[in-house]
């Protein structure tokens, strides 16, 4: 097939993408691929279509082909990293994204996607650093501000969370996620202030005894709206932390134990040397510990919030 005919096929595929007719676009790209298998634009288009069709394994394959055929195409590497993150292939995603940033250190999306991967791995400090790099390069990236604010909230750094929730709202006014986060961070900061005041020992002296508290008015959805919202968000975060720990146990611990067992029984086998198996096992143990710490923090936050609810 001549280059002109290939270009006409690509034009038809792009038109289908513009109409969000992903199936039609896929068929046209596959037809072009049958005639020109080494054209990066065909693989890039197919990868994009497969991504929108949520066929992520196929999307990753074609982004890899773009990177193989055109190693300097940074956008393909960034998108590959994003897809690998969704496929829970975090280590490869990090490697790919770092490669992209080595080629283009000013690629904002590279840092942003790197933050997403580190967040899903439970490495909050590294995720925060990646989001800060993205914001440094593009201060008006509202999603980076929101995600960084959420990280600060989880780490109980409420003032920093408020700062970035506010920045996200400045860039994108009336954004519900940022508005809710700002309200919850302000409530959490107020609660933290109350706790610090409670820890201050009372002054000694012969002053009057403290006044008796009034009758318990119970839970008021209006008065306690901030607490209820914070409780809901923290409960969801606790559930997510529990799921992450479960995923580590299922997807990482079982395979690495099997590898370690094989290394011990067959040290010269295809699984690699014993030192490498031990290193992988220790890395998984560290990941388990990080996931446990995060879950424990969430549960502690729930206990703290529950202490501020009225009791009947």
pLDDT tens digits, 26-52: 999 999 998 888 999 999 999 999 999
Q: For the full predicted model, state whether its pTM sits above 0.85.
A: no
> What is the per-residue pLDDT across 140-160, written as a single tens digit (0 to 9) for each?
999 999 999 999 999 989 999
Q: Report which of 228, 248, 237, 244 is spatially closest to residue 308, judged by C-alpha positions.
A: 228
Position 301 scores a pLDDT of 66
Using pLDDT thresholds of 50, 70 and 90, give the confidence band for residue 12.
Answer: very high
Q: CA–CA separation, 291 vs 246, rounded Å?
A: 9
**pLDDT at position 245 over 80:** no
Domain borders along the chain are 139-185, 234-306
Q: CA–CA separation, 117 vs 67, rounded Å?
A: 20
Q: What percent of the chain has pLDDT over 90?
A: 55
**pLDDT at position 167 over 90:** yes
Residues 6 or more apart in contact with residue 51 via CB below 8 angstroms:
59, 79, 83
Using pLDDT thresholds of 50, 70 and 90, give the confidence band for residue 78.
Answer: very high
Using pLDDT thresholds of 50, 70 and 90, give the confidence band for residue 1.
Answer: low
Q: Mean pLDDT for the chain?
A: 82
- Higher-pLDDT residue of 237, 94: 94
Write out 49-90 in H/E/C secondary structure: HHHHCCCHHHHHHHHHHHHHHCCCCHHHHHHHHHHHHHCCCH
Question: How many angstroms separate the most distant Cα atoms in the chain?
Answer: 99
**pLDDT at position 267 over 70:** no
Using pLDDT thresholds of 50, 70 and 90, give the confidence band for residue 5.
Answer: confident
**pLDDT at position 121 over 60:** yes
Token pair for residue 25?
Answer: 């676009």
Using pLDDT thresholds of 50, 70 and 90, give the confidence band for residue 283.
Answer: confident
- Domain 139-185 in CATH 1.25.40.10? The answer is yes
> What is the per-residue pLDDT across 90-120, written as a single tens digit (0 to 9) for each?
999 999 999 999 999 999 999 999 999 999 9
């Amino acid at each position: 097939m001549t280059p002109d005919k290939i270009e006409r096929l690509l034009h038809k595929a792009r038109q289908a993408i513009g109409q969000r007719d992903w199936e039609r676009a896929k068929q046209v790209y596959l037809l072009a691929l049958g005639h020109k298998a080494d054209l990066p634009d065909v693989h890039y288009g197919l990868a994009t279509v497969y991504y929108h069709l949520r066929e992520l394994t196929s999307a990753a394959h074609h982004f890899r082909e773009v990177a193989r055929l055109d190693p300097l195409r940074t956008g393909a590497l960034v998108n590959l990293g994003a897809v690998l993150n969704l496929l829970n292939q975090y280590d490869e995603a990090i490697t790919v994204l770092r490669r992209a940033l080595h080629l283009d250190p000013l690629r904002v999306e590279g840092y942003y996607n790197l933050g997403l991967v580190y967040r899903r791995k439970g490495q909050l400090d590294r995720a925060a650093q990646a989001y800060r790099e993205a914001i440094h390069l593009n201060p008006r990236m509202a999603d980076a501000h929101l995600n960084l604010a959420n990280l600060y909230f989880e780490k109980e750094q409420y003032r920093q969370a408020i700062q970035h929730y506010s920045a996200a709202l400045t860039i994108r006014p009336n954004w519900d996620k940022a508005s809710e986060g700002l309200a919850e961070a302000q409530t959490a900061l107020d609660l933290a202030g109350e706790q610090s005041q409670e820890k201050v020992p009372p002054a000694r002296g012969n002053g009057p005894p403290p006044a008796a508290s009034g009758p318990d008015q119970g839970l008021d959805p209006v008065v306690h709206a901030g607490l209820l919202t914070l409780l809901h968000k923290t409960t969801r975060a606790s559930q997510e932390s529990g799921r992450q720990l479960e995923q580590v146990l299922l997807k990482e611990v079982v395979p690495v134990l099997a590898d370690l067992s094989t290394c011990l029984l067959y040290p010269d086998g295809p699984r690699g040397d014993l030192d490498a198996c031990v290193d992988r096992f220790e890395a998984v143990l560290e990941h388990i510990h990080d996931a446990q710490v995060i879950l424990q923090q969430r549960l502690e936050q729930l206990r703290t919030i529950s202490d501020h609810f009225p009791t009947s």
